[in-house]
Amino acid sequence: MSMNIGEASKASGVSAKMIRHYESVGLFPEAARTDSGYRQYTAKEVSTLRFVRQSRDLGFSIDQIRELLGLWQDRKRPSRQVRALAQAHIEELDEKLKELQSMKATLEHLVHCCHGDDRPDCPIIDSLSQETAAPTATVHRAAGRNVGLQSGRARRRAT
């Protein structure tokens, strides 16, 4: 039984727009077409779309998914290849988590330093407006003065 793109989208959990995108980047083969030009998908292709969606849900990149698809389709694959790919992805996620934790700590500090009242001065806005501010830079409090962001290093500013 074949499905149109809307049905395949509903069955796989992948939007029609993303199905077209996956086709355009070569992650997913172009669908067969009806005489009137509508895309048609088989149950096997919908299964592949589910595999892609679940891989994306875990944060794998398009290139990693391409590799995973190849491994999935190769029934003689050694599982160590799949494990190595997953382990490398875990390491990437750990790095992203560190970056997110650093950004969170920076924001928490800035929120703590902001009075949140009717005054216009705001260390959050001040830090964001600096030319050299880095999103993952750290902010510290030194000698009772606000310390701004500057390329990952603390920079003292007059209050």
pLDDT along the chain (159 residues), means of 10: 95 98 94 94 97 98 97 96 98 98 95 92 91 54 42 40
* Residue 39 placed within a domain: yes
Q: Are 157 and 147 in contact (CB under 8 A)?
A: yes
Which among 79, 80, 78, 51 has a CA at the least distance from the CA of 65?
A: 51
- Number of independent structural domains in the chain: 2
Which of 77, 99, 122 lies at the terminal end of a domain, its last residue? 77
| Within-domain flag for 143 | yes
Q: Is residue 100 part of a domain?
A: yes
The last residue of a domain, from among 28, 47, 77 = 77
**Statement to judge: residues 72 and 99 lie in one domain:** no
Cα angle, residue 16 at apex, residues 12 and 18 outer, rounded to 5°: 85
Instruction: Assess whether 120 and 141 both reside in one domain.
Output: yes
Q: What is the pLDDT of residue 131?
A: 82
Cβ–Cβ under 8 Å, residues 140 and 131: no
* pLDDT on residue 133: 58
Alpha-carbon span 37 to 45, nearest angstrom: 18
Please, which residues bridge with residue 3 across strands?
41
Instruction: Determine, yes or no, domain membership for 22.
Output: yes
**What pLDDT was estimated at residue 157?**
43
Residue 106 lies in a domain: yes
Range of 142's domain? 88-156
Residues 13 and 59 occupy one common structural domain? yes
Return the number of other C-beta atoms located less than 10 Å from residue 32's C-beta: 12
The predicted pLDDT at position 135 comes to 52
What are 31's two structure tokens? 């669908």
Quick check: is 82 in a domain? Answer: no
Please give the model's pTM, rounded to 2 decimal places. 0.73
